[in-house]
Amino acid sequence: MHIHDYEKIWLVLAMVLIVAIITTITYGATAAGIGMISDDEETIDSTALDEDERFADPRVEEIDDNQYEVYVIAQQFQFRPDPIEVPANSQVTFYVTSPDVLHGFHVEGTNANTMVIPGEVSKLTVEPNEPGEYGIVCNEYCGAGHHDMEGLLIVHPEDEFELEDDSDE
Ligand code: CUA
């Protein structure tokens, strides 16, 4: 079969285009500091969060010197705990899950931003250096109250921070 030169050029161009598209998508999904929901977190029963040791009592926990873990529930239409209080110059890892529908978790003014999927635990670590108050917003449409779904992250100066024990023991 004879292929016309002109046709060959278009064949090559089409292939270049396909490779370019795949490269762009791969780059967008993996490079440039973009993280998808990590696969190493186990799934969780979204209907039984009150029986989960992390999420039954959404809270801030000190796990080591200057290292904190925050277990957050994003639900229609609030974040718990609210506010979330941590000290500056620490390492804070958020674990966020949802008992109902898809939500977002974005700490305004930072690059902390993740999707929150029922049945999955989104994990993200931030190192807040600047004391202050940061709004937390839901950036996935989740129902009638979506636009009112917001929380607050308070970063306290290191020497003024004390983890309050609000467990019911
Ligand atoms: Cu939750 Cu939008």
What would the pLDDT profile of 69-109 be if each residue is shown by its tens digit? Answer: 999 999 999 999 999 999 999 999 999 999 999 999 999 98
Give the mean pLDDT of 12-40: 77
| Sequence-separated (6 or more) residues with CB below 8 Å from residue 163 | 60, 62
In 3D space, the residue among 72, 79, 67 whose CA is nearest the CA of residue 121 turns out to be: 72
Atom of ligand 1 nearest to the CA of 140: 2
Q: Among all chains, which residue has been given the structure tokens 């500056």?
A: 88
Give nearest CA residue, ligand 1 atom 1: 103
* Alpha carbon distance 45, 36 (integer Å): 20
pTM value > 0.85 = no
Ligand 1: which residues within 6 Å by Cβ? 77, 103, 138, 140-142, 146, 149
In 3D space, the residue among 98, 128, 118, 115 whose CA is nearest the CA of residue 38 turns out to be: 115
Q: How far is the CA of 14 from the centre of ligand 1 (A)?
A: 41
How much of the chain, in percent, has pLDDT values that exceed 70?
Answer: 90
Q: How far is the CA of 49 from the centre of ligand 1 (A)?
A: 18
Q: In this model, does residue 169 exceed pLDDT 50?
A: no
Atom of ligand 1 nearest to the CA of 77: 1
